Structure 1
């Protein structure tokens, strides 16, 4: 299971491909906005809202706790607070809005594949740069969060980079720069507030990077 992290980008390719297929079929019979919402619902059902749950839990913990110990305790609480609800609602709203805009200026199915692959590659790469700080007995990510070799990190980035090349040199440079900047800033932010990462933080990273990919594409593709 420790070696499974290298395949997160491949998992993203499968999920993105299925969502792209659903959107392509729905767009033939439904307005674009409705097709986007239905595709988002399909994605949530497909993953069990696993990463969205991580984003909400991280927002609750870091927003509501005054110490690293308290933040970790809040993140393990199954109840959802104001910070988590607000973050989740705004993230889903932004995702819907940007996807509708991208559907007008680009081939959205390929955008979905790219964002699902790239965001999971970047999120999984955080395992290599920070210590794991959650309770190992009650953690969902413990088997995946112990260690990551340099070879696995390179493999992960190569898999994540492959679909980016479809969008050309400028987009590729922008997304690579985005990934490097995000890893530096997000890692420092987590180290300052938690002393490391948890499974929720990896899920949150995936969601944040996915949204950032959409925004970068929108900037480059909008006339």
Structure 2
């Protein structure tokens, strides 16, 4: 019995660790940090995405009582950037700067770690945010897109973490603890959870959501992962953030 309670307590801490890694939501419990917890918390990324999606969808519905759909979408996007600290968007900008401006592997990794943003990164970030706003406005059910897209898109980095090597210098990377030794069993659980959410949403509101989600996760993982393999030999923390943005945009394209 005590083993069962300690396992539940460990999973509860692991879940909150995933929240603290992906968002700025204050930690409400004390966590016994360990390599095991850091390795295992990635399984909860889609669940954290769903919780964020519920917040975004609820905020959008409330905002539309006062503002136009466009203003409501933009305000929800501001909320998203604040809650996540623009975590994934920063990864997109750094990745595009590095892949667009670096010629050698060392150059690309050096540019990726540079805190300054370049022309490639600025253009990619502006276009991604503008496209996201436009697609949300064009979505058949904007609240559904806001709810499901964050969940689906946060499965994609798990696939890259499992099947590609981690190539950033481990002593300087903030993603090293999460990127080390991600178990296959936990990946399968994350896939099953995401599939369950998508099936429920597709059955209730939009049948096209299932195919769109498959393309957004496995398609982006294969194409982006293959590109990273040829350019870098593996993935970095920034490229994981970039794949979340790319995956989310594919979901929104399917729902527009």
Same fold (TM over 0.5): yes
**1:40 counterpart = 2:77:** yes
TM-score, normalisation: structure 2: 0.81
Q: Which of 38, 49, 54 lines up with 1:17 in the alignment?
A: 54
Q: Which segment is superposed worse, 137-146 or 202-211? A: 137-146
Residue 93 to residue 176, structure 1, CA distance change in 2 (3 Å):
same
Alpha carbons 1:122, 1:157 under 8 Å: kept? no
**1:3 counterpart = 2:34:** no
**Equivalences for residues 1-223 of structure 1 within 5 A:** 1-102=38-139, 105-106=140-141, 108-165=142-199, 166-168=201-203, 169-218=207-256
Alpha carbons 1:113, 1:163 under 8 Å: kept? no
* Displacement after TM superposition at 1:178 (Å): 4.1
For these two proteins, the number of residue pairs brought into alignment is 215
Q: Which segment is superposed worse, 166-175 or 88-97? A: 166-175
Q: Distance in 2 between matches of 1:181 and 1:117?
A: 16
Structure 2 residue matching 1:208: 3-state secondary structure:
helix
User: Cα RMSD between the aligned structures?
Assistant: 1.2
Structure with larger RCO (C-alpha < 8 A, sep 6+) = 1
For the pair shown, the structure with the greater C-alpha radius of gyration is: 2
Q: Distance in 1 between matches of 2:49 and 2:153?
A: 8
Q: Distance in 1 between matches of 2:215 and 2:110?
A: 34
Alpha carbons 1:130, 1:196 under 8 Å: kept? yes
Q: Name stretches of at least 5 consecutive residues in structure 1 with no aligned partner.
A: 219-223
Query: Can you list the C-alpha shifts for 1:113-143, whole angstroms capped at 9, x where unaligned?
Result: 2100000012222100001011111111111
Residue 174 to residue 21, structure 1, CA distance change in 2 (3 Å):
closer
* Displacement after TM superposition at 1:157 (Å): 0.9
Query: Can you list the C-alpha shifts for 1:81-135, whole angstroms capped at 9, x where unaligned?
Result: 0000000000000001010111xx22x2222121000000122221000010111
